Amino acid sequence: MREIDITRGIIGNHIDDFYNALESDVIIVGGGPSGLVAAGLLAEKGVNVTVLEKRLAPGGGIWGGGMGYKYVIVQEEAVHMLDHFSIPKREYEKKFYAVDSIALASGLIFGAVKRGVNIFNLVTVEDLLIREGRVTGVVINNVFVQMNQFPVDPLTLEAKAVVDATGHDHDVIATLARKNDVKLNTPTGKTLGERSMFAKSAEELVVENTKEVYPGVWVCGMSTASVYGGYRMGPIFGGMLLSGEKLAGMLLDVCSK
Ligand SMILES: Cc1cc2nc3c(=O)[nH]c(=O)nc-3n(C[C@H](O)[C@H](O)[C@H](O)COP(=O)(O)OP(=O)(O)OC[C@H]3O[C@@H](n4cnc5c(N)ncnc54)[C@H](O)[C@@H]3O)c2cc1C
C-alpha cells in the first residue's frame, strides 16, 4: 500500500467532480433542507445539479432540532416529501409528525447524493457572475481562505440557474443587492428583512415566496423570509421541504428550455 495511491484517488475523483460542476444546469448555494430537496428532485429528473456548502457538514439548521432537542416537526402537507426521501416519521398528534433531526439531515444529504447531486462542502460563494442583466454563475472560494482573510483569488462556476438557499443569511441576494445597482423582484425592489416568529404564516409564505428574484437567480427556504419580509417559524420543517419541491418544479421548466 502506497500513500500516494490514496492521494491520487482523492485528487483525481475530486477534480472530475469539480470539472463536471464548471457548467451546471443548476447551482444551489446552501445545503439546508430546502436546497437539498430541490437538488434531489431535480437530479432524479436528469438535471446536472451542484450544491455549494460552506460548512463541513451539509444539512444547514436541521441537525440541532429545537434548542438542541433532536426532533423537528413536519406537518401533514409535507409528509409526502419525507416518504419520497425514505425518512422515518412518527405521528404524535393528528396531522403533525416528529422527525429525528439526524435522520432528516442525513436522509436528505444521502438522498441528494445518490440521485447524482454534486455536493461540495467547505466552499463559500462570495460573489456572482452577471452578464447582460442576468446572473450566470457564482464566484467561489475555499472557506478557510475566507475565514483567514488570505489574499487568495477565487474561482468561478456557471449555471443556467443559481439558487439562494443560504437561509437567514440570504448571502447570494445580499451580495447581488450590495454590489450591483439592481431592482429585485420584490415589492420595493430591495430586500425586506425577516420578521419575528409566526409559524403558520411563515410556513405559507416560505412556499409562496419561492420564486425568481432577479433574472437567473431564485430564492428558496428561509432566505425567502429575509428577501420578502416573511416570518421565522422555528423547528417546523414542512415549509422548507415544500419550498424545495416548488423550486424543483420551476427549475425543471427552465432547464428543459
Ligand atoms: C447555523 C444555523 C442556525 C439556525 N438557527 C436558527 C434559530 O435559532 N432559529 C430559527 O428559527 N431558525 C434557525 N435556523 C434556520 C432553521 O433551521 C430553518 O428553519 C431551516 O434550517 C432553514 O432551511 P434552509 O433550507 O433555508 O437552509 P438552512 O438550514 O438555513 O441552511 C443554509 C445553508 O447555507 C449555507 N450557506 C450560507 N451562506 C453560504 C455561502 N455564502 N456559501 C455556501 N454556503 C452558504 C449555510 O452554511 C447553511 O448550511 C438556523 C439555521 C442555521 C444554518
Under a CB-based contact definition with an 8 Å cutoff, are residues 186 and 222 in contact? Answer: no
Under a CB-based contact definition with an 8 Å cutoff, are residues 55 and 121 in contact? Answer: yes
In a domain, 181, yes or no: yes
| 1 CB-side CA count, 13 A | 4
Question: Can you tell me which atom of ligand 1 is nearest the CA of 35?
Answer: 25
Alpha-carbon gap, residue 232 to 78, rounded angstroms:
18
Q: How far is the CA of 132 from the centre of ligand 1 (A)?
A: 31
**Ligand 1 pocket mutation, candidates 75, 166, 236, criterion most atoms within 8 A of CB:** 166
Q: What is the pLDDT of residue 117?
A: 98
pLDDT tens digits along 196-211:
999 999 999 999 999 9
Q: Which domain holds residue 195?
A: 28-59+104-256
pLDDT tens digits along 152-162:
999 999 999 99
In a domain, 82, yes or no: no
In a domain, 1, yes or no: no
Q: What is the DSSP letter of 155?
A: E
Q: What is the pLDDT of residue 257?
A: 76
Q: What is the DSSP letter of 121?
A: -
In a domain, 23, yes or no: no
Question: Can you tell me which atom of ligand 1 is nearest the CA of 220?
Answer: 26
In a domain, 159, yes or no: yes
In the sheet that 90-93 helps form, which strands lie side by side, from edge to edge?
71-75, 96-100, 90-93
Which residues 6+ apart lie within 8 Å of 206 measured at CB? 34, 221, 222, 224, 225, 230, 233, 239, 240, 242, 243
Q: How far is the CA of 12 from the centre of ligand 1 (A)?
A: 31
Q: How far is the CA of 81 from the centre of ligand 1 (A)?
A: 19
CATH number at residue 193: 3.50.50.60
Q: For atom 50 of ligand 1, which residue has the closest CA?
A: 61
Ligand 1 pocket, CB under 6 A: 29-35, 52-55, 60-62, 124-125, 165-167, 169, 171, 221-223, 232, 234, 240
Question: Can you tell me which atom of ligand 1 is nearest the CA of 244?
Answer: 25
- Which pTM was predicted? 0.97
| Weakly modelled stretches of the chain, pLDDT under 50 | none
In a domain, 79, yes or no: no
Q: How far is the CA of 138 from the centre of ligand 1 (A)?
A: 19
pLDDT tens digits along 54-100:
999 999 999 999 999 999 999 999 999 999 999 999 999 999 999 99
Cα angle vertex 143, ends 138, 145, to 5°? Answer: 100
Q: How far is the CA of 62 from the centre of ligand 1 (A)?
A: 8
Secondary element (H or E) of residue 179:
helix 171-179
Under a CB-based contact definition with an 8 Å cutoff, are residues 22 and 138 in contact? Answer: no
Number of structural domains found in the chain: 1
In a domain, 69, yes or no: no
In a domain, 66, yes or no: no
**Torsional class of 135: left (φ above 0), alpha (ψ -120 to 50), beta (otherwise):** beta
Q: What is the DSSP letter of 61?
A: G
Q: Which of 4, 3, 130, 106 is nearest to 57 (CA)?
A: 106
Q: For atom 12 of ligand 1, which residue has the closest CA?
A: 234
Question: Can you tell me which atom of ligand 1 is nearest the CA of 197?
Answer: 11
